[in-house]
Amino acid sequence: MNRSQLKKSIKRAALAQMPDVFDRIDLENAYVASPERSVRRIRPFNYAFALKAMIVLILVGVTGVFVYDQLRTEPPLVLALETEAEIYGFQMVSATSLLSQITATELALDVKFGDHDTTTAPIQEADTLVTDQIDQITEYLNTMEVMLAEDDETVYEVTPSDVEGYQWQLTFTTVDLLGNVLTYTIRYNEALDPEDASRRLIDGVMTMGGNEYALAGTVTTQGDAVRTRFIASRDDDSIEITDLTDADGQKYRYDVEKDGQPYESLDMRLSREDGTLVATISHATATSSAEYRFRRLADGTGFEISYYYEKDGETETGRMGVRVEFDEVNEAYTYQYDVEAQTGSHQGHSSHSGGRTSKTSGASGHGMDTSLSL
């Protein structure tokens, strides 16, 4: 018997032994198991939680925008001069004063008035680069002494003019380093420009140092901004001052002409530090550039000048203490400079004397000032 026949024989024997029970199975009620399915429970929607989350997201977004805006936005510009009288007065008086100083320096180069020598001179051999700038610094300082008194010692006031032919008079009252109360008066007219309704035209006159200076200017309104331009002139000498105020602060450009020709240009930036008016003057030539920061001392008797000076590729920084002293020989008050400088790794020191012009001449002064009037 082969393998196939043996399998068939075993199958027949197994079927013969199997009991016949198929007719006793109830297929109608038979339970058939089905495979189980995983059931995912759905949580009910939590409206309160969603609302809280939305509020938190809104607050975070608004706060983020606010913080970014605070970091991005510059602080509001605080002007050193705010009122119309201050803005007009500072420009008119400073331009006239600076022009008078430049004229005085030119006259003093080769001229002595009696025994009064107004030229600047070093007291000791200088060991500082800035020595060759003392004459120019003295010009600026003569003007800054007038313009940078303490707030409670400075008054700008505009009133109707007491002189026929002028509508207004601007009175500027200040105190010099000797304690003299000085009053300068500018008389002027102001009218709308017939060709530009946004512009006002100004013309006037001021006396300083015994000389009369003509004043002219324009005031232009541009939205919320006001732009000014003034010219102080005498004969063929003049200074034009242009308002360059921007987001960085209050700035003015002074362009000087002598004998009808360009003489020099300088920039002035005004700021307030602890309530004190501070002026920074900068100028440049083909071979040098300089910046001088003038701040009047708290006691009102002198100045501190910090500076940066670069000449022929060499740079110097330093500070100057300035006091007014009486020169017994020339019988006049002078500026005494004490300079501490840093040039690279070298520290230098020098002392100088600068000619101080009278501040009471050309002004209504209360006090004694025996310095020379030019």
* C-alpha closest to that of 348 among 177, 161, 126, 36: 126
pLDDT (0 to 100) of residue 82: 84
Task: Say if CB 359 and CB 338 are below 8 A apart.
Answer: no
pLDDT (0 to 100) of residue 284: 94
Q: What are the residues whose beta carbons fall under 8 Å from the beta carbon of 252, sequence distance 6 or more?
A: 91, 241, 242, 243, 244, 245, 267, 268, 270
What are the residue ranges in the chain where pLDDT is below 50? 38-40, 42, 60, 62-73, 107-123, 125, 368, 370-374
The secondary structure of 140-172 as a DSSP string is: HHHHHHHH---GGG-EEEEEE-SSTT-SEEEEE
pLDDT (0 to 100) of residue 116: 34
Question: 105-124: per-residue pLDDT in tens?
Answer: 554 443 333 333 344 444 45
Question: 183-233: per-residue pLDDT in tens?
Answer: 999 999 999 999 999 999 999 999 988 889 999 999 999 887 889 999 999
Domain map of the chain by residue range? 84-366
* C-alpha closest to that of 374 among 79, 14, 111: 111
Pairing of strands 302-311, 261-273: unpaired
CA separation for the pair 53, 59 (Å, rounded): 10
3-state secondary structure of 316: strand
pLDDT (0 to 100) of residue 106: 54
CA-based radius of gyration for the chain: 44
Q: Residue 101: what are its φ and ψ, rounded to 5°?
A: -70, -40
Q: Facing residues of 293 across strands?
A: 280, 306
